[in-house]
Chain A
Amino acid sequence: MHIPDGYLGPITCVAGFAAMIPVWTIASNRVKKTLQAKQVPLMAIGAAFSFVIMMFNVPIPGGTTGHAVGAVLAAILLGPWAATLSVSVALVLQAILFGDGGITAIGANCFNMAFVLPFTGYAFYKIISGNSPATSIRRVIGAGFGGYIGLVIASLCAGIEFGLQPILHHTASGQALYCPYGLKTSVLAMVAGHALVFGWVELLVTALVVKFLQKQEPSLLRVELEVVK
């Protein structure tokens, strides 16, 4: 889901940054107010986990590859605003150092994977887990489906961004200037891959880590309750 340089035209690139600058600003303010000093190491681990889990490319045989992002896990442990910052750190580093995702597309990629993903996933986690105790199975199920739905909705956003390009930018003869595939193809390709395969990887990863934390350190899963106060 890392949109490279050259696939998005100037309008979408600028829109991506225009959307993310207020998000990053609000996230910083919210984190300033709610993050406790003891949670800072978790923010670091969240960013590092997101980075490395994205390296686990999963194949659709004969087709394409994708991966989990780990953003909903960060949202569960730190709240969605801190997750936005953590995943943004990973995405910026991937773009600058490893050329994974374009420099011009950092805004759009962060919008999809560091904003839409943790927020939608976290919302579903909250709906499913409700006020259940930190060790409840509802937390594991909520984490898993939060991860799945978050990743699929993020892929829908990426598909729309790809698919808008031939409408926004084309030559007089109809050749695309940037991404050549229209909305129908782009959205279908992005959503199908993530709904059928990659979303399940995010589901598994998020649920397993929450399950592990329930056994090892359930207090981490209560952090969000303190944050809300």
Chain B
Amino acid sequence: MKITTKLWLGLGTLAALSPIGLYLPDKFKAGDAWGEWGGDKIKELVGYVPTGFEKISSLWHAAMPDYVFKGWEEKGFGHLSFAYIISAIVGILLCAIGAWLLGKLLVKKEA
């Protein structure tokens, strides 16, 4: 088996296992990453929501915020895991296509 095939299989395995990255923080009540809180949590921490933060934080509406389908946020671990795996697969494919195109573009120009 070619090494790249093995590496792709490895990436597939990681996508299938990705819900571990969802489960462990929840299990150990780890909360958000430092500095990645929403407005409510900031208010809880420092007593106010910074006005600049309030303006800019909702500037962009991602298609799948936090690797969840919209409306699925409260659906429980099974649904969240499914959405997480789909996100991993979509992310892996899009990253690979993006970097591959970039690489092709750069390498081709040299020839």
**Interface contact A61-B30, CB-CB below 8 Å:** yes
**Interface contact B66-A99, CB-CB below 8 Å:** yes
Contact with B along A6-46 (1 / 0, CB 8 A): 11010000000000000000001001110111011111111
Given contacts A5-B59, A45-B11, A47-B99, contact A37 B107 (CB under 8 A): yes
Q: In the complex, what residues of A have CB within 8 A of residue B64's CB?
A: 97-99
Contact of A55 among B52, B87, B109 (CB under 8 A): B87
Contact with B along A171-196 (1 / 0, CB 8 A): 10001111111000010011001000
Q: In the complex, what residues of B have CB within 8 A of residue A35's CB?
A: 103, 106-107
Contact with B along A106-145 (1 / 0, CB 8 A): 0000000000000000000000000000000000000000
Given contacts A98-B64, A178-B53, contact A55 B84 (CB under 8 A): yes
Contact with B along A56-74 (1 / 0, CB 8 A): 1111111111110000000
Q: In the complex, what residues of A have CB within 8 A of residue B54's CB?
A: 6
Q: Is A149 interfacial (CB 8 A cutoff)?
A: no
6 contacts between A and B (CB under 8 A): A7-B53, A37-B107, A55-B21, A55-B84, A55-B87, A177-B53
A228–B98 Cα distance when bound, in Å, is 25
**Interface contact B60-A99, CB-CB below 8 Å:** yes
**Interface contact B95-A89, CB-CB below 8 Å:** yes
Q: Looking across the interface, which residue of chain A has its beta carbon closest to that of B31?
A: A64
Total number of A residues with any Cβ neighbor in B under 8 Å: 78
**Interface contact B65-A98, CB-CB below 8 Å:** yes
Total number of B residues with any Cβ neighbor in A under 8 Å: 67
Q: In the complex, what residues of A have CB within 8 A of residue B107's CB?
A: 31-32, 35-37, 40
Q: In the complex, what residues of A have CB within 8 A of residue B67's CB?
A: 55, 98, 100
**Interface contact B99-A216, CB-CB below 8 Å:** no
**Interface contact B4-A65, CB-CB below 8 Å:** no
A108–B73 Cα distance when bound, in Å, is 28
Interface residues of B in 38-76 (CB under 8 A from A): 42, 45-46, 48, 50-67
Q: In the complex, what residues of B have CB within 8 A of residue A32's CB?
A: 106-107, 109-110
**Interface contact A171-B57, CB-CB below 8 Å:** no
A46–B48 Cα distance when bound, in Å, is 41
Q: In the complex, what residues of A have CB within 8 A of residue B15's CB?
A: 52
Q: Looking across the interface, which residue of chain B has its beta carbon closest to that of A29?
A: B106
Q: In the complex, what residues of B have CB within 8 A of residue A79's CB?
A: none
Q: In the complex, what residues of A have CB within 8 A of residue B8's CB?
A: 45
Given contacts A3-B35, A98-B91, A190-B34, contact A103 B28 (CB under 8 A): no
**Interface contact B99-A53, CB-CB below 8 Å:** no
Q: Is A210 interfacial (CB 8 A cutoff)?
A: no
**Interface contact B56-A5, CB-CB below 8 Å:** yes
Q: In the complex, what residues of B have CB within 8 A of residue A41's CB?
A: 4, 100
Given contacts A6-B55, A40-B100, A45-B7, contact A178 B33 (CB under 8 A): no
Q: In the complex, what residues of B have CB within 8 A of residue A44's CB?
A: 95-97, 99-100, 103
